[in-house]
Structure 1
Amino acid sequence: MKPKETMKVLAASVIAVVVMVGIARFSYTPMIPEMVAALGLSKSVVGMLATVNYAGYLTGALLITRISDLGLKVRLYQLGLVVAVISTILMGYTTNVWLWFVLRFISGLSTSAGMLLGAGLLMSWLIKNNQKSELGVFFSGIGLGIVLTAVVAELIKEPFTWDQQWVIYGLVALVLLVPAWSWMPDYRACALPRTAGGGGGDERSRFIRILQLAYFCAGVGYVVTATFLVAIAESMPRLSGDGWLIWLIAGLAATPACWLWDVFSRRWGQWLALYLAYTLNAVSILMLIVNASMAGVMLSAVIYGASFIGIVSMMLAMVGRVFPENPSRPMSRLTFSYGLAQMLAPAVVGYLADVEGDYTSGLWLTLIVMALGVVMLHLARKAEQREQGSAALSPE
């Protein structure tokens, strides 16, 4: 495989993540203050719009667990690119909350295609072409998407109204769709031969079930900050008007963190890397509670960006390696828990913020869930060790 061709494939995958995750999902975060100021949206509605988006993501994850046909996966992946553009643009053409719910749900479906189908297809391509089966570069697209939406938000917030801003985000996605589509390899040629063992692991094992619980907790830690970080920053007198900068910092931290976690994982082991990533994510949440200074919130954004992306990248790559024949399926099973957390947590935190007037209680609840996630992660590791021991003792 020529290095130039490999670079084009990786670039296409990263750009697709920027479109289907960065813009289709994350453009909403810097848009929250704009829509609240222009339309007077309540915190509950803001949280519900995020919840509906993740409901679409969760639905997409469930559907993907039932898909084994590689050709269908490729077609749905391509459809996700188109849907990401259209659903973003149409957000600016209505003020009907129910239509917003529909559009954010559809956008969530496209995000699941970008994250899960995209990661699975790329993993298959990497294995087929004897490349390292790591997804750090792929998930750097999430950080790049955050950076892009933050920069665009700052450029367009003054000269354009909130509805025009949505259209601009969609047009940016349309431009990026061109290289993402044209550099896409023929993923249909990447099918791996099935083995008698079925792929090296049991998707319904105790290990996977506990790992799903751990990933649920990580989903809560991720989504609360992803949804409300800009709004939290803007609510602080000393940070009013600088919310976009905080979001940019999170994205800048996330972009290189993926491959740095890959390096750390190779040297020190994936479990130690995951323990550290979970702990750092919890620390970033704690800092939002105890330190309202500009420096404190910036540092929290750096730690958050670097940690959440590592959790996603390492978790999905780990299960993808266990099930190389059909990596999208176990990734989707794991993501079901992550998506469920993303559907529930914004609504809960938004409700608490409406009742109490700030995000403190919601952040404390999130911190507790992340601490529980570290415990679940440890139990998953122990379960894996027991299952590997039992497999080694059983006769072939």
Structure 2
Amino acid sequence: MKQSFWSSVCLALGGLLALAAAMGIGRFVYTPILPSMAEGIPLTPSAAGLIASANFLGYLTGALIGASRFLGGTPRTWFLAGLALSALTSAAMALTSDVWFFMMVRFISGLASAFVLVFSTTLILERLTTAGHSALSAVHFSGVGIGIALSAVLIAALNHNTADWQTLWLASGLATAILLAGATVLVPARSSASLAAPTDGGRAREDGRRPWSPTVIRLVAAYGLFGFGYVITATFVSVMARTTPSLTEIEPFVWLIVGLSAAPSIYVWNLIAAKLGARRAFALACLVEAGGVAMTAVSTSPAIFLIGAALLGGTFMGITALGLAEGRRLTAEAGTSAVRQMLATLTASFGLGQAAGPWIAGQLHGVTGSFQAPSIAAAIALVIAAALAGL
């Protein structure tokens, strides 16, 4: 039992490193690097939004590919390949200042991060559940927050030493490669038969639920609205701080606050879900996040802005995990393939919302000259997501 528990701990830590690399750094490091790119290239908010949307479009594409029944290979192979690609694409951002090149590279990076999320989560949750240690899934999902905090410290330290934006991307690629090495060691290979074996001792059962029941449809729609609702602030919060005179001094701390708040959030929201149920906890978290997004939009007070950043960090990974956990619950008895397809479908909906968010934010910024209008739209989307999930 002890050996099994510690094996599960190592597995969860490997998942933590995987998500820290591909999501916390590979996907989200664009946020703290963006102010330096905007000044050094320079880069307009509209162009910055297009680059971010390309990343999230790649994320959507990766999720759709991950849902395919015909994709060969093992989950471990695919998520490690995704991590390697994430490291390479981060480093490649330093090669030029061409916006179209940035969009192409960030598209590939988004595809890689989706592969890591879908395949590492499928593999790790399956093994943890089989071992009877599903509670350790909180460790796996905390990797995103830890990766964000790590990237915030890394970028702030390099900025303190007046590093240019190219150096910031190269350092991010190197950090991702180091985390890849750790994940490779901590997530051991198993035979494909043992990974795919159904836990009921026979053929995978259908659980009697319709694949596209109203509950599932509402969950998928709410997940997409959540993707739209969180991503505008998550993309531009550092730029908002740097370009607002009263917030300039707190800019190095904003993304760090987001990451530190995100790291323990899975555990907290799991406790809430144990009392309210996953869907109601999902709805509550969306409402809390809507409040945080609105705070960053309507106030120039440093304290309120940081509270808004903390509410964003303290909810977005909780919502992500709750949605994936609910999707897994709805399909668990149908077998590993069905679970993977449900996780990929949710991730695709999420990716569609993410792809739309930065582009719309960039366009609205061009019209209004601020991020207030897109942030308010994001908060409204989160309220609608809460209503759909809570029905």
Number of residues paired by the alignment?
Answer: 379
Query: 3-state SS of the aligned residue for 1:203?
Result: coil
1:283-306 C-alpha deviation (Å, 9 max, x unpaired)? 001212332101001110111111
Paired residue for 1:20?
A: 22
Distance 2:377 2:214 in 1: 27
Distance 2:40 2:249 in 1: 15
The structural deviation recorded for 1:206 is 2.2
Residue pair 1:134, 1:317 contacting (<8 A) in 2 also? no
Matched, 1:204 2:215: no
Paired residue for 2:351?
A: 339
Counterparts of 1:324-335 in structure 2, within 5 Å, are 324=332, 325-326=335-336, 327-335=339-347
Shift in CA distance, 244/195, structure 1 to aligned 2, threshold 3 Å: farther
Gaps (5+ residues) in structure 1? Answer: 380-396
Distance 2:238 2:340 in 1: 32
Residue pair 1:124, 1:191 contacting (<8 A) in 2 also? no
Residue pair 2:9, 2:136 contacting (<8 A) in 1 also? no
Matched, 1:31 2:43: no
Distance 2:297 2:255 in 1: 17
Identify the match of residue 96 of structure 2 among 71, 94, 97. Answer: 94
Paired residue for 1:10?
A: 12
The structural deviation recorded for 1:179 is 1.0
Identify the match of residue 122 of structure 1 among 118, 121, 124. Answer: 124
1:328-350 C-alpha deviation (Å, 9 max, x unpaired)? 21011112111100001100011
Distance 2:6 2:75 in 1: 25
Distance 2:274 2:293 in 1: 27
Identify the match of residue 62 of structure 1 among 61, 64, 78. Answer: 64
Paired residue for 2:311?
A: 303
Paired residue for 2:197?
A: 192
The structural deviation recorded for 1:136 is 2.2
Superposition TM-score, scaled by structure 2 size:
0.93
Query: 3-state SS of the aligned residue for 2:94?
Result: helix
Distance 1:213 1:18 in 2: 26
Residue pair 1:143, 1:305 contacting (<8 A) in 2 also? yes
Paired residue for 2:388?
A: 376
Paired residue for 1:385?
A: none
Shift in CA distance, 102/11, structure 1 to aligned 2, threshold 3 Å: same
Deviating 4+ runs (over 6 angstroms):
none
Residue pair 1:123, 1:320 contacting (<8 A) in 2 also? no
Residue pair 2:279, 2:322 contacting (<8 A) in 1 also? no
Gaps (5+ residues) in structure 2? Answer: none
The structural deviation recorded for 1:196 is 5.5
2:218 partner amino acid: I
The structural deviation recorded for 1:69 is 6.1
Query: 3-state SS of the aligned residue for 1:71?
Result: coil
* Aligned-residue CA RMSD (Å): 1.7
1:133-188 C-alpha deviation (Å, 9 max, x unpaired)? 66322111110111011101110013321111110111111112111111112253
The structural deviation recorded for 1:101 is 1.1
Shift in CA distance, 164/105, structure 1 to aligned 2, threshold 3 Å: same
The structural deviation recorded for 1:235 is 1.7
Distance 2:266 2:353 in 1: 22
Matched, 1:256 2:259: no
Query: 3-state SS of the aligned residue for 2:55?
Result: helix
